[in-house]
Chain A
């Protein structure tokens, strides 16, 4: 604590990394709190908390960070978390980043930045507001039951992705909450999926969840981006709450068939708010997977084309 007539205070930096290479769960938690400042403060009592977790075999990787700048601080707090798991030729990663302003500009209470990133395979997280200032929960190759539960009620998405010949490659819950009133705060969350698929990819925007932001007050903007191999292919910014709610509710976007066969997609969101409230949404990524008989027909077709080409070439040679 930086007591004294003009006492300064020290900053705090916490880093936690956990990796489970044998199929178990990985949990990383980081907590950082800057020292309290009494009087004038130098920008040195900020707080930074970084956590990362990584697993294999689709086991849950869970990373949580909390950063609280020191009371009276004029330095920000930053929390960031990332989680990754790989299995069966699929890699899924979640990232969350929250940066708060400093308490001198707000209501005197140190703002807290908290992040939670979870990556796993099979069964994932429920669609609910986890309460962190930024959160990202991604699931690779979700099992049928989990995908059905998550998509439940979104009829357009269900008919596009839950048919007998459809496969869901990934799902995610992304969102952010702001409790700091008066000063703009920025929160980001993203999900990245790497997998092999040569066909037409469909993005099902399932639903949104809003807390606070009464009458849209305090909501400044929400940006939603999609990047393929690091190149942005979609960027939408909503300047009012109603537009954002409408966009994420039971809609299907055709991403096309030219993103594969090695698909690398990152879905990101950034919430900027100066009032109390939260916004989150969930989505599913999938496409039609041909049945074995369809694959066999395609192979016969390709073989036939090849044979005809060979015959033509042979005839020309004679």
Chain B
């Protein structure tokens, strides 16, 4: 093989390897993420003149749709219970329990993807 042919071949190989390295470093590293959030309970109104308070609404978010490299990436989000609605003893109305929102997202560029979201209202 002539030396100029070798030179062309070497350059082509190096370009390919460099592209591969750039692609691999450009991809985000990913790892499993698990988020759990629990809302606080609302306060009961033991005195009729006082107002009960609402349970805390919560949101939990795990993972993202950005591509990650971890083939077994698993995102799981647990929305916490909202707090108890208040309990007014005399002629009162209890306040709402908290809402819960859970969002889980996973995108992988190799292997399997798994996303689990659980939300339980208060």
Contact = CB atoms under 8 A, between A and B. Distances in A.
A13 B101 contact: yes
Interface residues of B, number: 47
Given A2-B85, A35-B82, A35-B120, A8 B97 contact: yes
Contact of B96 (A2, A47, A51): A2
A34 interface: yes
Given A8-B85, A14-B79, A35 B97 contact: yes
Contacts of B55: 2, 10, 35
A4 to B, nearest CB: 3
In this complex, the member of B104, B108, B111, B121 whose beta carbon has the largest number of chain A beta carbons within 10 angstroms is B121
A8 B85 CA distance: 6
Nearest to B111: A24
Contacts of B93: 4-6, 40
B35 interface: no
Nearest to B45: A4
Interface residues of A, number: 46
A5 B88 contact: yes
A8 B94 contact: yes
B17 to A, nearest CB: 21
B37 interface: no
In this complex, the member of B96, B99, B101, B105 whose beta carbon has the largest number of chain A beta carbons within 10 angstroms is B96
A190 interface: no
A13 B121 CA distance: 8
A45 B121 contact: yes
A14 B96 contact: no
A101 B25 CA distance: 51
Given A7-B85, A21-B108, A33 B121 contact: yes
Interface in B21-80: 44, 52, 55, 57, 65, 67, 71, 79
Nearest to B100: A12
Interface in B72-122: 79, 81-82, 84-89, 92-122
B88 A1 contact: no
Contacts of B67: 21
B21 to A, nearest CB: 18
A44 interface: yes
A31 B112 CA distance: 21
Contacts of B94: 2-8, 38-39
A31 B122 contact: no
10 contacts: A2-B55, A4-B86, A5-B92, A10-B55, A11-B99, A26-B114, A28-B114, A29-B115, A30-B117, A51-B115
Q: 9 closest A-B pairs (Cβ-Cβ)?
A: A4-B94, A22-B110, A7-B94, A10-B121, A35-B121, A4-B87, A24-B112, A8-B96, A7-B85
Interface of B: 44, 52, 55, 57, 65, 67, 71, 79, 81-82, 84-89, 92-122
Given A12-B121, A32-B118, 5 more contacts: A4-B95, A6-B94, A9-B121, A32-B102, A51-B117
